[in-house]
Chains A and B, each alone.
Chain A
Amino acid sequence: MTISPPPALALQDISKRFGEVHANRGVNWTLRAGRIYALLGENGAGKSTLMSILAGRYQPDQGDILRQGRPVRFLSPAQALAAGIGMVYQRFMLVAPLTVAENILLRRGPIHLRGTREIRRIRELAERYGLAVNPRATVGTLSMGERQRVEILKLLYRRAKILIFDEPTAVLTHAEIENLFTVFRQLKNEGKTVVFITHKLEEVMAVADEIAVMRRGRMVSQLAAADVRSRHDLARLMVGREVILSVDKPPVAVGESVLQVRGLTGPGESPRPTFRDIAFDVRQGEILAITGVAGNGQEDLAAALAGLVRLTGGTLRFQERTFTAAQWRRRPSDRIAYIPEDRHRTGSVDAFSLVENFMLTRLDVFGTSLLVDRRRAAQATAEAVARFGIQGGGLRSQAGHLSGGNLQKLILARELSRRPALLIAEQPTQGLDIRATEDIWQALLRQRATAAVLLITGDLKEALSLADRIAVMFRGRILDIVSARDDGDIDRIKLLMAGLEDR
């Protein structure tokens, strides 16, 4: 026995699989009271899964959780909270029409049946931790920062000892971030444990005591913040030096500019639009990757170019024709193909057959002005199935039964069959296995012969493997566009993704 008390929480050899994907593999981590932990890692590194296991939302396939030295097992978030572990999710779990106090007391019955004692306790907690918010205010009227404070109060009210935050700064303004960090320090002084997931290195340096880095489901590094010499070290730890899958990338003659955008600005209610002042050119024969950590505006940019999100400013030049932001509604949409990120919910109708899905964006081709030509659509689908090796059911089976890779190939085949001048592919290989990924990559590379390709991806490896140039987005702006050929620039891309402009 040692003299020091057991750690507040210890994870031992935690593993979690979702189908074929190992989200966590043999993770060991020890959390102590009165410390602030930053958990770093790329998209899909397994951070959120690990935190959800801690918070009782998922159960590990393997491994133990020790709370103050005693093994525990949480079947629900309520049980985790009873053991003092609470989580603030990225999307707040609040009931907008109810008041702050009602939200905090939600699980304990209607508030009007209870006295002002509870309200007084909420006020006390709010004061003690610097969480300025009026308990009687309606949550729907609050800013994001205030809502987050309500979430924290919810946990504190239920006497949480370990507070977990999933990307807590993503929705906050600069001033609100400062505020949050003050709260973090106060929580620490009161002996609580704070864990937060982030992609932003300056935040780590500003507030964390301990840093843990995950990569591909494993805990690859744990160090004290005091030992970090430079942000560059941290960026490198986060992204790693993985071998880039070698993709055969035959050179293609670069042709004319297909899309040229200047000063493109998107919608947004928050203090800033989701993207702004976007400028780039993409020419036939080349792949321009737009990369960045999720939530930095690239999703909306892709949707806006595809006409699904309103543009509020800027100009676009597409194949010799110039459009203002408002005119983009009348773009020649048959020349632009879009592969959306969510292949199940946006790119396809899961209750439709393969053939019916193949018609989704091509109704004008498969049929007369009145009738649908199923025969021709079936023929084209059969050709696509053969050419792309789509497996998992006949033409008449429901698309929802296809695996992710096969569904993505079907969508890709459909969009390529439109012979677009511009192909916008958003996270085209997210969640796919290596074989499907390579098939999709090859198809995108082949497409350069006839089209300009805009690849929106959070996967740096994908961007480096496919793209000729890489634009890095951070907080809605393109920080820089760098050549993908130059090895020296890769480090810079990583820093740019973390928001570090070193010029």
Chain B
Amino acid sequence: MAWRIEKRSASFARSPAWVFPVSLAMAVAVGAGIFAALGVNPLTAYGVMLKGAAGSFFHVSEVVVRAIPLMLTGLAVALAATMLLWNIGCEGQLVWGGILAAGTGLYLAPHLPPFLVLPAVVAAGAVGGALWGLIPGLLKAYLAVNEILSSLLLNYIAIIVMEHLYFGPWRNPEGYGFPGTAQIAEAARIPHYFGTRIHLGLVLALVLAMVLYGALRLTRWGYRVRAIGLNPRAARYAGFGIRSQIVGVMLLSGALAGLAGMAEVSGIHYRLQQGLAVGYGYDGIIVAWLARLNPLAVPFVALLLGFLIVGGEQLQSVLHLPASISVVLEAVLLFGLLLSESLARYRLVRRETGRAVPAAGEEGA
């Protein structure tokens, strides 16, 4: 009993560099165990995933396509979390981005000069998400409503509104009863590259990651965001307007998620339909945490998750394993990270040995 576990005194110490590789290794190991339990040779399974997600240029491009919305929602969550705000509402903000982008593409585009259509669609996506993010922001800032709950619950409302639109007023009259709007105008579709489905969203996400990184470090606004996140008491002492800061950050966070919805509608589906709300908003939380809130790391983590998603689909089609295996791997990765991060806060120390005196008298009084 000469050793004991002690909490490291410096809570502000950065977590060590080994945390990410270790959690990745844990995820791979646990995944191997699951494959073995399902009766599949883990090496075969990982081989299928690798081949399916990285086997050809087309496969890689599909990984990128999946990663684009994850990058944007990951940035959205990371920005809010830098200020200790938990934006669990990216899914709803994404949906609203999609709704306004689709609406613009469907109903506004014919009335706009051609060169304005695309900017209008992109802006509409950002505005849709921003407005949906504004609601929990205002509630938090002025009524102290927990943003985790409010932003989460607003997701369901957003999805119902979207369904109402494509089942009802916005339904494609020539759609033979399929739920979904008509296709948006050609001019309202964002450009694609390399003959793949990779679209403008990638450029947006990468540029925004760099802008966000720079803004957090170089601007007064970014300084305030970081100060509030690290020590709200000190920020209050310094006289930062915490309320307006909350509202502003939730607006921006919502806008980022809204752009993800816009890119999905305008770059992939070309319409509002089932399949827009597939959980990119929630996966953004995982992306942000795996990236440890660093905007520059977000695109890479998003690619990793995109790889898992595409690879998981391959497992289903080739080995007939449930595709949800990729969700399990995601989860293990996140748990591994959280576990390693909390373990990193402790260290093993030798217990100082005082004089051995029997513990308290048990007099049973």
B348 at the interface (CB under 8 A from A): no
Contact call B357/A363, Cβ cutoff below 8 A: no
Docked CA distance A257–B158 (Å): 59
Contact pick for B234, options A83, A348, A371, CB 8 Å: A348
Docked CA distance A370–B224 (Å): 12
Give the segment of A178-186, A352-360, A482-490 that binds chain B. Answer: A352-360
Contacts of A342 in B (CB 8 A): 233
Identity of the chain A residue whose Cβ is nearest the Cβ of B221 in the assembled complex: A370
Contact pick for A159, options B223, B357, B365, CB 8 Å: B365
Residues 349 to 363 of chain B near chain A (Cβ within 8 Å): 354, 357-363
Docked CA distance A68–B327 (Å): 62
Looking at the assembled complex, report how far the CB atom of A308 sits from the nearest CB atom of chain B, in whole angstroms: 7
A230 at the interface (CB under 8 A from B): no
A262 at the interface (CB under 8 A from B): no
Tell me whether A83 and B223 are in contact in the complex, defined as CB-CB below 8 angstroms, given that A73-B357, A347-B234, A350-B231 are known contacts.
no
Q: What are the 5 tightest A-B residue pairs by CB atom distance, in nearest-first order? A: A351-B12, A83-B360, A73-B357, A79-B360, A349-B231
Docked CA distance A401–B14 (Å): 13
A108 at the interface (CB under 8 A from B): no
Contact call A75/B359, Cβ cutoff below 8 A: yes
B161 at the interface (CB under 8 A from A): no
Known: A56-B360, A342-B233, A372-B219. 13 other contacts (CB 8 A): A70-B361, A72-B360, A72-B361, A345-B231, A350-B230, A351-B12, A351-B231, A352-B226, A359-B223, A363-B220, A369-B220, A371-B219, A372-B218
B238 at the interface (CB under 8 A from A): yes
Contacts of A369 in B (CB 8 A): 220
A74 at the interface (CB under 8 A from B): yes
Contact call A370/B362, Cβ cutoff below 8 A: no
Tell me whether A346 and B359 are in contact in the complex, defined as CB-CB below 8 angstroms, given that A307-B239, A367-B220, A400-B10 are known contacts.
no
Docked CA distance A82–B363 (Å): 8
Contact call A340/B224, Cβ cutoff below 8 A: no
- Flag B112-154 by CB within 8 Å of A: 1 or 0 each: 0000000000000000000000000000000000000000000
Contact call A361/B238, Cβ cutoff below 8 A: yes
Contact call B363/A83, Cβ cutoff below 8 A: yes
Looking at the assembled complex, report how far the CB atom of B279 sits from the nearest CB atom of chain A, in whole angstroms: 32
B24 at the interface (CB under 8 A from A): no
Which of A74, A338, A350 has the largest number of chain B CB atoms within 10 A?
A350
Docked CA distance A75–B354 (Å): 11
Tell me whether A308 and B223 are in contact in the complex, defined as CB-CB below 8 angstroms, given that A79-B360, A372-B218, A400-B10 are known contacts.
no
- Flag A461-492 by CB within 8 Å of B: 1 or 0 each: 00000000000000000000000000000000
Contact pick for B360, options A82, A306, A360, CB 8 Å: A82
Identity of the chain B residue whose Cβ is nearest the Cβ of A362 in the assembled complex: B238
Contact pick for A82, options B236, B354, B357, B362, CB 8 Å: B362
Contact call B357/A352, Cβ cutoff below 8 A: no
Contacts of B234 in A (CB 8 A): 345-349, 360
Residues 363 to 380 of chain A near chain B (Cβ within 8 Å): 363, 367, 369-372
B206 at the interface (CB under 8 A from A): no
Contact call A346/B357, Cβ cutoff below 8 A: no
B297 at the interface (CB under 8 A from A): no
B242 at the interface (CB under 8 A from A): no
Docked CA distance A309–B226 (Å): 24
Docked CA distance A67–B361 (Å): 8
Docked CA distance A333–B238 (Å): 10
Contact call A73/B237, Cβ cutoff below 8 A: no
Docked CA distance A62–B75 (Å): 54
Q: Can you pick out 21 interface pairs between chain A and chain B where the beta carbons lie within 8 Å of each other?
A: A56-B360, A59-B354, A67-B361, A73-B354, A74-B360, A75-B359, A79-B359, A79-B360, A84-B363, A159-B365, A306-B237, A308-B237, A345-B233, A348-B231, A348-B234, A350-B12, A351-B231, A363-B220, A367-B220, A369-B220, A372-B223
Contacts of A59 in B (CB 8 A): 354
- Flag B209-222 by CB within 8 Å of A: 1 or 0 each: 00000000011111
Contact pick for B237, options A70, A80, A338, CB 8 Å: A338
Identity of the chain A residue whose Cβ is nearest the Cβ of B237 in the assembled complex: A346
- Flag A294-309 by CB within 8 Å of B: 1 or 0 each: 0000000000001110
Tell me whether A363 and B223 are in contact in the complex, defined as CB-CB below 8 angstroms, given that A84-B365, A161-B365, A351-B12 are known contacts.
yes
A240 at the interface (CB under 8 A from B): no
Contact call A80/B220, Cβ cutoff below 8 A: no
Contacts of B224 in A (CB 8 A): 363
Residues 328 to 365 of chain B near chain A (Cβ within 8 Å): 354, 357-363, 365
Looking at the assembled complex, report how far the CB atom of A478 sits from the nearest CB atom of chain B, in whole angstroms: 25
Docked CA distance A364–B323 (Å): 53
Looking at the assembled complex, report how far the CB atom of B306 sits from the nearest CB atom of chain A, in whole angstroms: 32
A71 at the interface (CB under 8 A from B): yes
Tell me whether A349 and B227 are in contact in the complex, defined as CB-CB below 8 angstroms, given that A161-B365, A360-B238, A372-B218 are known contacts.
yes
